Amino acid sequence: MASQAPDVTQVVAPDGTVDGEVELSAEDARNVYRLQVLARTFDEKAVSLHRQGRIGTYAPLKGQEAAQVGAAYALSTDDYCFPTYRDHAMYLTRGHSMRDVLLHLLGAGNYVDREDPDGLRTFTPTIPIATQLPHAVGVGMAADYDGDDAAALASFGDGATSEGDFHEAMNFAGVFDAPVVFFCQNNQYAISVPRERQTASATIAQKADAYGFDGMRIDGNDVFAVYRAVTEALERARRGEPVLIEAVTYRQGAHTTTDDPSKYREEAEVEEWVEKDPIERTREFLEAEHGWTDEDEAALREDCEARVAEAVEAAEAHDGFDTDAMFDHVYADEHPRHPDQRETVPDDPQVER
């Protein structure tokens, strides 16, 4: 029987009261709130776009805004970031445009500019579970060998801890002192499988002990706790001390837009977590500590709606879709079956929408 899980570390309580040291300035606190609201506005629109058949399968992030924004906000421009398919807020925080995120969802390929060596070091989203973790360790080790004062942050969900890639990456990081932060967004479910069916460990954070480095367990709905923990972990990683962070949060929506979460969890559970909503918590803090007003809120919501609408319009106006691109990176050379397969694909991908 697993031992009782320890309490998570937080800085701002669910009611917005300060429970620790806030290491963000007033302006930065407003920025992480704006980014969370922008991410949710984008998220709600993306779900709607999928329901209308205007984008492909989408993985909602509602409820995980603080974890994603707080972690990405802590990164320097020199640090590497390895997000997952749900980490849309990380891309927005790292400076990628919503238009490009939407183009990816429209099938236009990955939206990270590989030709820009001076750009943000953010890798393309990974769909296979945990495969980005060994990549992050390898990049971190390469940076260390090159004398690059940078760390890699690898983001993943609780379900990824059941994959071999997770354990292999952790082992390599521990043995070779790789400058890597493993950032687990424990949103309680790997599709329909609850966390307690993933592991008998009391926490995910304690798994770091087996690989010779430290684990931290934080409140993933507290953007200030996330920022502080990731900032500290990145500093340690740059010194050759990998760190595992378990950010305890909750996926309020479906796993993807093809999922029905009512089949495997109770509505009462969802409502309990909605009471801990990360965006409401940050707003309560801003109102109490930095004079955030209803007028500020209304202006922010209007701006976010306008920015999302503009991004949708720009993405849907894109006419550079190339159906042949889906064949370009499957094999090193042209496969004998590709010519016949190309014949089955319409010249205009918009036709089948």
Q: Helices 65-74 and 26-51 sit at what angle, rounded to 10 degrees?
A: 130
Cβ-based neighbours of 133, under 8 Å, separated by 6 or more = 82, 154, 156, 160, 165, 166, 168, 169, 170, 182
Q: What is the DSSP letter of 3?
A: P
Tally of residues, the chain: 353
Distance of CA 57 to the CA centre of its chain: 17
Biggest alpha carbon–alpha carbon distance for the chain: 65
- E strands, the chain, are 80-82, 121-122, 152-157, 180-186, 189-190, 193-194, 214-219, 243-248
- Answer whether 268's CB lies under 8 Å from 207's CB: no
3-state SS, residue 234: helix
CA–CA gap between residue 253 and residue 274 (Å, rounded): 11
As given in the structure block, the two tokens for residue 236 are 């340690």
255 belongs to the catalytic site: yes
Name, in order, each residue with C-beta under 8 angstroms of 319's C-beta and a sequence gap of 6 or more: none
Determine whether 251 is an active site residue.
yes
Q: Which of 51, 264, 318, 342 is catalytic?
A: 264
Q: 3-state class of 316 per DSSP? A: helix
Integer angstrom CA distances of residue 306 from 42, 271, 302: 11, 29, 6
Among 88, 195, 251, 281, which one carries the catalytic annotation? Answer: 251
Q: Active site includes 290?
A: no
Which residue in 94, 195, 217, 255 is the catalytic one? 255
Provide DSSP, 75-101. --TTSEEE-BTT-HHHHHHTT--HHHH
**Residues labelled catalytic:** 251, 255, 264
